Amino acid sequence: MIVTDNQPFTVVSDVGFKRLMAAAEPRYALKSDKYYRTEKLQEVHHKVVDKIKALIQPENAGYSLSFTTDCWSGVTESLISLTCHFIDAEWTRKQVVLNTRAMHGSHTGEYLKETFLSMLEDWKISKDRVALVLRDSGANIVKGMRLAELPDLSCTAHTLQLVVNDGLSSQRAVTDVIAILKKCATHLHHSILAKQRLRDIQRELGLPEHNIIQAVCFHPGTPH
């Protein structure tokens, strides 16, 4: 349940969960969250790794595999991911996340090449099995794929998003409107009186009582 539903390990200490387990199987003694975090998790991890290794073998996934990779920065660290895509023996499209790794130091093309090849090596995937690597248009990852001598293409959605972002930022009238809307949304989110006044106006005009959403910038920065 913890793995399937992405629950925190501390759920085993919750009163409701204990009551559920007591009703489902009174003879089962729950262990501490530390047990599931330090011991059971490793057991599950090894089982999943073995299952995925079998899944991507040539007899199950075909010889050629495609991959997507992305790099992004969190609050405390930078990460790179590797996802494998293939069609299995029953002609069903499959995808599995093979790795999400923390990156350290300067993210040069050489560094990304070594990191990417290392992730492939973790799964014993040879370069000749790589049919395509789909990546963003960042100069460093483009160089990394060239240095690794792997077939690669830019993500069309990412490229389109860059075009939209450039189009928006190049028009002063658009950027001014976006800035004003951001200020309005921020004010409404921080002022109870302003939010109530908005509700009153919506009711007077017979409009749906929606909240004003704040702008969210997804990678690589286009506001939504």
Give residue-wise pLDDT tens across range 89-123: 899 999 999 999 999 989 999 999 999 999 999 99
Same domain assignment for residues 66 and 145? yes
pLDDT at 218 (0 to 100): 55
pLDDT at 55 (0 to 100): 95
| Residue 119 belongs to some domain of the structure | yes
- Domain of 34 in residue numbering reads as 9-55
pLDDT at 178 (0 to 100): 87
Q: Average the pLDDT over 166-175 and give the result.
A: 88
Q: Could you give the number of structural domains in the chain? A: 3
Q: pTM value?
A: 0.74
Same domain assignment for residues 102 and 182? no
Same domain assignment for residues 120 and 79? yes
pLDDT at 98 (0 to 100): 97
Helix (H, G, I), strand (E, B) or coil at 80: strand
In angstroms, rounded to a whole number, what is the distance separating the alpha carbons of residues 168 and 214?
Answer: 17
- In this predicted model, what pLDDT tens digit does every residue of 12-40 receive, in sequence order? 999 999 999 999 999 988 899 999 888 88
